[in-house]
Structure formats: structure tokens, C-alpha cells
């Protein structure tokens, strides 16, 4: 029988993004004295942030009432705001406008209003004059306002969670890529790229873009494929045009991308205003994940190609674009430098750079055209470059996207295979508690008992 000393920690969390850190935080609070180790591949957990819009605390209005996302966001937004207040993290709760710029969008807008009320959210329907009261520069046929939407310093949240976990006696290791997982009757052991082996009673796979890979390392077939997606954002050079958060009515084909092919407009806590994510143009390229092996995996899995070929991803209001969820272009595979659109090989030594300026200009033009439907005074020159964002798109084998949390349990293991990127901050604290609950149930089912608070060691 293994003893306390045979384990390097009680719970091993792979992934130091918002879900992994929230889970570690919840574990240290639910069972004080539990030894938690977090292994994070990146050298800075803030690398996980999904672009400049990563600090948005969503209300969950876009998600089905029966979904875990809606349930967690309904209470998690307020909890995140309170967390920011306690830790002195910059944040605001200015609400959000969802604006219909065309009469054809009104039925979807009214459906969102009804869904928001079903969630118990404070939703107010607005006409054109009322829109101007909140956002004088925005024009639309109608809108709804959700007053509970907020914005915070997401990097500050990650830093605060890391500090809380460390203060509880647990460990967060950055720059630790997991290369092997060995699951045994007594628990799990994970090996990192530098050869370090960490033994634990229970493993939490919260590896985000790498979650499917980690699941397979543990011997579990995830049943989905995680596709990396790079989002394009722009900074609005005239920030005075927007006071808070403005989103277009989401498209029926892409529930988190507006029919105008932009995700939204967000004023950050530092006063800058960002536009995005922007739907990629039909000239768009596949962008590899952090590691080249992930790109090869994406190219060799049928689900990636099925997602790329979904017809709704290629045109919206007469403008051809791939959409945020369509990451593989049907016209080219220039990221690996094999062929161009005309079928001829690239003649440059760095093929992925060919046509970059043309693609960037095309995407910027699409963004400006789409943005003018909300902000008529905007020109293409008003859009400046901003940091791109990396997120994941989880798809089923038939290519349809996973829209809700996807959490699987296996012996000694909890896999978090999908987290809705738009609601990551709003749901972080409740989902962390849910995963911690499952972890402690697995550990206690195997005969382990949480350490006594007063003794600080396993009993």
C-alpha cells in the first residue's frame, strides 16, 4: 500500500490557464492541505489569453439555458467581479449592447432577449434613440442591453490565482511540457520534457489546446479533436467612439461571431478599444498551434477538414470569409508551403510569409466594412494592429463544433476537453469548484481522505 511519501503531490493539474488555476485554487480551499502541482507548458500563463478581448466577463446570454456554460456564467460573473475587488484587480461592470443593424437580425435579437430572461439576467430591449443614450456613436435598428457584463485585467486574474495557489503551499511550474502520462492502479505519473516525473493520486487535464493530446497520453480517446484557431484583432484609434462593450447579433452559422464577421467591440480597463475577433477572409491561412506537432495532427484528422468545409463558413452578407470556426481554407494550404491558390509552388524560401500583407489588408478591409454597420464614422485608417489571440475550436468527428463544457472522467483522471472561450472568465470560479468536486470524489473513492486542516498532512 502506498503512503503519503510515495506521491509528489495529491493532485496534478496539467495546464496553468484560467481553468487549471481555478481548479487548483478551488482544491486548496475545499480541502486545505491538499498538495496540488500545476504544470504549465508556457513560460507565462497569460499566453493563454484569447487576444485583447480575453478580459471580458460574459453574462452567458448566448448559451442555451440547459448548458453548463449558462449555469456557471449566471453566478460566476458576479463571483469574478468580487474576486477582482478583493485582489485589487482593475475591472468595470458597464454592461453590453447587442445590436441589430438590419431588420433580418431582429428575430435573433428577440430570441437572445428571451434567452437572457430565462437565465435570470437583467435584459433591457432598446430602440435606436435608446441605443444612443448608452453608445452615441453606435447605430442600429434595435438592441438589447445586459447590464451584468464586465471587463477586467485577465492577466491580473491569472497572477492572483497563481499567488493564492502558492500561498496555500501548492506549486505552479511554468515551462513544463508534459510528454508522457503513465496511469497505474495507485494513481498517475507524468513526465515533462526535462525528464522530471511527478506522481499524483489524481490527474486533471486542463491543457486547453493540448487537452486531446494529453488525454491520449493517458490512454483515453477524447472522442473530439481540438483545432487551434488564431483570431485577428484591431485597435480602434479613436477610442472615444465606444464607451463600453458592443456586440453585433451573432450569426446563426457562427454563434459567437456576428453576421458582420466581427465578434465585437470592447473597451478594456486601460481605455483602449479593440475590435474582434475578425472573421478570416477566404484567403485566410491555417495557423499552427504552439507546437508544430499540433499542426500535423490537425492536418491528419478528418474532423479538421470537415469543419473547414462547412459551407456557412465562406460567405456572410456577400463577403467571402472563413469565419472564426473555419480554420482550414479550401483554397490553399500555404502554411506548409506546398501550393498557392493557382496550384503552383511558392518560390520564396519562407512560404508562409508570401502574401501576408495582402491577406492582412483584406482582413482589415473586411473589419472596417463590418464595423461601419455599427459605427458609421469609422474608416479603415481608424484600425491599428493589435495582439492576435490563440484559442481552440473543439469539434466532433463529423466536424460539428462543441459549444458547451466537455468534461470526461476516467480512472484517477478528469479531462477538461473543451471550455467555451467567450465565457472562460465568467465561468472560471464555478467550473473550478465543479472539477475540484469530481477530483476529490475520485480520490476519496480510491480510499484517500483529505488532510486535516490543523495538521497539514495526509491522514
The pLDDT tens digits for 148-183 are 999 999 999 999 999 999 999 999 999 999 999 999
Question: Higher pLDDT residue, 449 or 206?
Answer: 206
What pLDDT shows up at residue 4? Answer: 67
Helices (H) and strands (E) in the chain, counts: 10, 20
What pLDDT shows up at residue 347? Answer: 37
Task: Characterize 131-143 residue by residue with b for buried, 16 or more Cβ atoms within 10 angstroms of its Cβ, and e for exposed.
Answer: beebbebbbbbbb
Closest CA to 56 of 92, 25, 83, 86: 92
> pLDDT category, 392, cuts 50, 70, 90?
confident
Question: Higher pLDDT residue, 359 or 225?
Answer: 225
- What percent of the chain is predicted at pLDDT more than 90? 60
Q: Which DSSP symbol is given to 279?
A: P
**Statement: residue 356 has pLDDT above 80:** no
**Statement: residue 299 has pLDDT above 80:** no
Closest CA to 308 of 228, 368, 389, 244: 228
**Statement: residue 371 has pLDDT above 90:** yes
Cell of 182: 503513465
- What percent of the chain is predicted at pLDDT more than 70? 76
**Statement: residue 286 has pLDDT above 80:** no
Burial of 129 (0-12, 13-18, 19+ CB in 10 A): exposed
What pLDDT shows up at residue 304? Answer: 52
Three-state SS at 89: coil
Three-state SS at 365: helix
What pLDDT shows up at residue 50? Answer: 60
CA dist 102 and 258 (Å) reads: 12
CA dist 53 and 389 (Å) reads: 8
CA distances from 328 to 159, 172, 301, 321 (A): 34, 35, 12, 11
Question: Higher pLDDT residue, 345 or 32?
Answer: 32
For the chain, the average pLDDT equals 81
Closest CA to 87 of 157, 166, 169, 172: 157
> pLDDT category, 223, cuts 50, 70, 90?
very high
Question: Higher pLDDT residue, 183 or 310?
Answer: 183
**Statement: residue 204 has pLDDT above 90:** yes
What pLDDT shows up at residue 366? Answer: 86
What pLDDT shows up at residue 232? Answer: 86
CA dist 160 and 88 (Å) reads: 9
Across residues 373-395, what is the average pLDDT?
88
Residues recorded for the chain: 459
**pTM summary value:** 0.82
For strands 383-385 and 225-236, give the pairing.
Answer: antiparallel
Rounded to 5 degrees, what angle do the CA atoms 143, 427, 442 make? 155
**Statement: residue 206 has pLDDT above 80:** yes
Secondary structure (DSSP) of 244-267: SEEEEPBPSSSTTSBTTSB--EEE
Burial of 445 (0-12, 13-18, 19+ CB in 10 A): exposed
> pLDDT category, 231, cuts 50, 70, 90?
confident
The 10s digit of each residue's pLDDT in 23-75 is 999 999 999 999 999 999 999 888 767 666 669 999 989 898 889 999 999 89
Task: Characterize 377-392 residue by residue with b for buried, 16 or more Cβ atoms within 10 angstroms of its Cβ, and e for exposed.
Answer: ebeeebbeebeebbbb
Neighbours of 364 (CB within 10 A): 19
What pLDDT shows up at residue 279? Answer: 64
User: SS3 string of 401-424?
Assistant: ECCCCEEEEECCEEEEEECCHHHH
Neighbours of 197 (CB within 10 A): 11
Across residues 188-199, what is the average pLDDT?
97
CA dist 262 and 103 (Å) reads: 18
Amino acid at each position: 500500500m502506498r503512503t503519503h511519501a510515495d506521491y509528489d503531490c495529491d493532485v496534478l493539474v496539467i495546464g496553468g490557464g484560467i481553468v487549471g488555476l481555478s481548479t487548483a485554487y478551488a482544491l486548496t480551499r475545499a480541502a486545505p492541505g491538499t498538495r496540488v502541482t500545476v504544470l504549465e507548458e508556457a513560460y507565462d500563463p497569460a499566453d493563454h489569453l484569447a487576444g485583447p478581448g480575453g478580459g471580458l466577463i460574459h453574462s452567458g446570454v448566448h448559451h442555451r439555458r440547459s448548458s453548463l456554460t449558462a449555469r456557471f456564467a449566471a453566478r460566476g460573473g458576479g463571483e469574478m467581479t468580487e474576486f477582482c475587488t478583493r485582489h485589487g484587480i482593475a475591472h468595470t461592470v458597464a454592461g453590453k449592447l447587442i445590436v441589430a443593424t438590419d431588420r433580418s437580425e431582429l428575430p435573433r435579437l428577440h430570441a437572445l432577449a428571451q434567452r437572457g430572461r430565462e437565465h435570470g439576467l437583467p435584459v433591457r430591449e432598446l430602440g435606436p434613440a435608446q441605443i444612443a443614450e448608452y453608445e452615441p456613436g453606435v447605430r442600429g435598428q434595435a438592441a438589447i442591453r445586459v447590464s451584468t457584463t464586465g471587463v477586467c485585467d485577465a492577466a491580473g486574474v491569472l497572477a492572483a490565482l497563481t499567488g493564492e495557489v502558492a500561498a496555500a503551499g501548492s506549486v505552479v511550474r511554468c515551462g513544463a511540457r508534459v510528454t508522457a502520462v503513465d496511469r497505474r492502479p495507485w494513481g498517475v505519473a507524468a513526465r515533462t520534457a526535462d525528464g522530471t516525473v511527478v506522481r499524483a493520486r489524481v490527474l486533471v487535464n486542463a491543457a486547453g489546446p493540448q487537452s486531446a493530446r494529453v488525454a491520449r497520453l493517458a490512454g483515453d480517446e477524447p472522442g473530439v479533436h481540438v483545432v487551434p484557431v488564431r483570431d485577428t484583432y484591431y485597435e480602434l484609434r479613436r477610442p472615444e467612439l465606444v464607451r463600453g462593450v458592443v456586440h453585433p447579433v451573432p450569426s446563426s452559422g457562427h454563434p459567437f461571431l456576428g453576421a458582420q464577421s466581427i465578434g465585437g467591440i470592447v473597451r478594456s480597463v486601460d481605455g483602449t478599444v479593440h475590435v474582434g475577433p475578425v472573421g478570416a477572409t477566404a484567403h485566410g491561412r491555417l495557423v499552427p498551434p504552439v507546437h508544430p506537432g499540433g499542426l500535423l495532427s490537425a492536418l491528419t484528422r478528418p474532423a479538421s477538414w470537415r469543419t473547414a468545409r462547412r459551407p456557412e463558413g465562406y460567405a456572410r452578407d456577400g463577403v467571402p470569409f472563413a469565419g472564426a470556426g473555419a480554420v482550414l481554407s479550401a483554397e490553399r494550404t500555404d502554411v506548409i508551403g506546398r501550393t498557392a491558390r493557382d496550384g503552383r509552388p511558392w518560390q520564396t524560401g519562407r512560404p508562409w510569409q508570401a502574401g501576408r500583407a495582402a491577406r492582412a489588408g483584406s482582413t482589415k478591409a473586411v473589419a472596417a466594412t463590418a464595423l461601419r454597420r455599427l459605427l458609421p464614422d469609422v474608416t479603415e485608417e481608424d484600425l491599428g494592429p493589435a495582439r492576435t489571440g490563440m484559442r481552440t475550436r473543439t469539434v466532433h468527428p463529423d466536424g460539428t463544433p462543441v459549444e458547451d463544457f466537455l468534461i470526461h472522467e476516467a480512472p484517477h483522471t478528469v479531462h477538461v476537453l473543451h471550455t467555451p472561450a467567450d465565457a472562460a472568465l465568467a465561468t472560471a470560479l464555478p467550473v473550478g469548484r465543479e472539477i475540484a468536486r469530481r477530483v476529490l470524489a475520485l480520490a476519496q473513492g480510491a480510499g484517500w481522505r483529505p488532510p486535516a486542516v490543523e495538521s497539514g498532512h495526509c491522514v
